[in-house]
Amino acid sequence: MINYILHHNLQYGYSENSFIFSTDFAFLPTFFSDLVKLLPASIPLSHLLFQYTPLMRNPAIHKPTISLCFTWLSKSWWTPKLTQLRKDSTVKTRKAKEDPGGVDNARQAKRKYKNEVKKAKSAHWRTFPENAKKNDVWTAHQFTKKRLRSTVPGGHNYWSAASLKLAIMQHFFPQNPNPVDMEPPRYIELEEKDRVDASEVAQALRKCSNTSAPGPDQVPYGLWKGIHSVNRHIIPALINHMLTLSIHLPALKDSLGILLPKPSKGDYDAFASHRVIALMQTFSKIAERIINQRLIKLAKASGLYTIRQTGSLPQRATFDARISLKHWVQEAQAAGLKARTMFLDMKGGFDNVDHGTLLRRLRSKDTPEYMTRWISNFLAYRQCAIIFPGSPRNMNGINTGIPQGSPLSPILFVIYVEPLHSCLDPTRELIISYVDDI
According to the model, what pLDDT value does residue 34 have? 55
According to the model, what pLDDT value does residue 70 have? 55
For β-strands 254-261 and 274-280, DSSP reports them as antiparallel
310 close to 320: Cβ distance less than 8 angstroms: yes
According to the model, what pLDDT value does residue 147 have? 65
> Degrees (nearest 5) of the Cα angle 69, 75, 81?
70
According to the model, what pLDDT value does residue 33 have? 55
335 close to 327: Cβ distance less than 8 angstroms: no
According to the model, what pLDDT value does residue 284 have? 94
Q: Tell me the residue length of the chain.
A: 438
Write a three-state SS string for 371-406: HHHHHHHHHCCEEEEEECCCCCCCCEEECCCCCCCC
**Nearest CA among 275, 270, 272, 276 for reference residue 155:** 270
Measure Cα distances from 226 to 2, 218, 222, 230, 281 in Å.
16, 16, 6, 6, 17
What is the C-alpha separation between 288 and 249, in angstroms, rounded? 13
According to the model, what pLDDT value does residue 255 have? 92
What is the C-alpha separation between 152 and 386, in angstroms, rounded? 11
What is the C-alpha separation between 262 and 273, in angstroms, rounded? 6
Predicted confidence pLDDT, tens digits, the chain (438 residues): 233 333 333 333 333 333 333 334 444 455 555 555 555 555 554 455 444 444 344 344 344 444 455 555 567 788 889 989 999 999 999 988 888 888 899 999 999 999 999 999 888 888 887 777 777 777 777 767 666 666 788 767 788 888 888 898 888 888 877 777 777 878 899 999 999 999 999 999 998 988 888 899 889 999 999 999 999 999 999 999 999 999 998 889 999 998 888 877 878 888 888 888 889 999 999 999 999 999 999 998 888 888 888 888 887 888 888 888 888 888 888 988 888 888 888 777 888 888 889 999 999 998 999 999 999 999 988 999 998 888 888 898 888 889 888 999 999 999 998 888 877 776 777 788 887 654
b/e code 198-214 from CB counts within 10 Å (16+ = b):
eebbeebbeebeeeeeb
* pTM of this structure: 0.69
Write a three-state SS string for the chain: CCEEEEECCCCCCCCCCEEEEECCHHHHHHHHHHHHHHCCCCCCCHHHHHHHHHHHHCCCCCCCCCCCCCCCCCCCCCCHHHHHHHHHHHHHHHHHHHCHHHHHHHHHHHHHHHHHHHHHHHHHHHHHHHHCCCCHHHHHHHHHCCCCCCCCCCCCCCCCHHHHHHHHHHHHCCCCCCCCCCCCCCCCCCCHHHCCCHHHHHHHHHCCCCCCCCCCCCCCHHHHHHHHHHCCCHHHHHHHHHHHCCCCCHHHCEEEEEEEECCCCCCCCCHHHEEEEEEECHHHHHHHHHHHHHHHHHHHHHCCCCCCEECCECCECCHHHHHHHHHHHHHHHHCCCCCCCCCCCCCCCHHHCCHHHHHHHHHHCCCCHHHHHHHHHHHCCEEEEEECCCCCCCCEEECCCCCCCCCCHHHHHHHHHHHHHHCCCCCCCCCCEECCCC
What is the C-alpha separation between 415 and 413, in angstroms, rounded? 5
According to the model, what pLDDT value does residue 178 have? 75
